[in-house]
Amino acid sequence: MPGSNDDDSQLGSGLVGALETITRSPTDIHGLDTERIIELFEYHGYSCKPAGKLRGISGVLHGFDFVCTKKITGEKIVVQSFLHLGEGADKIDVEVVKLRLSTYDCSPDVCMVIASSQVEHVRQLATLYRLTIIDSSFETPYEQIDSLLSLQA
């Protein structure tokens, strides 16, 4: 049969079986344990969607690492991790500006940014743009998020 390669079809069928047996790493969204984030927000009365999207007033659909909505009040919290960016200042600056534009358009009640403390200018930009910084180098980001959510209750 023209255009057909029996070796590729065998590889493809073996690949499907291999994909079915692979388990996802619990750290699967930019260095954050997805299940732990979901459980943490649900404990505090939120519905949390990983890789969530919000439509802004401009009509653009913006993606965030996590979009969490308070079940009773409808309050929205977005969480964005910069842990995967390392210490590349240029990349982080661009990502912070993009995040600010997205949050300005979507207007969530709170935007949490998770980064390491080695990037001081992220802290400065977060303060300037009114983003809540979670510093992952002193204690786990989960403990800090839990503390912040407990204060809101």
pTM of the entire predicted model: 0.74
pLDDT digits (tens, 9 = 90+) for 67-114: 999 999 999 999 998 877 766 667 777 888 899 999 999 999 999 988
pLDDT-based confidence at residue 4 (cuts at 50, 70, 90) = very low
pLDDT digits (tens, 9 = 90+) for 28-60: 777 788 899 999 999 999 999 999 999 999 999
H helix or E strand, kind and range, residue 50: strand 46-50
Domain edges within the chain: 27-152
Identity of the residue numbered 38:
I
- CA geometry: angle at 117 spanning 111 and 119, to 5°? 85
Fold of 27-152: Trna Endonuclease; Chain: A, domain 1 (3.40.1350)
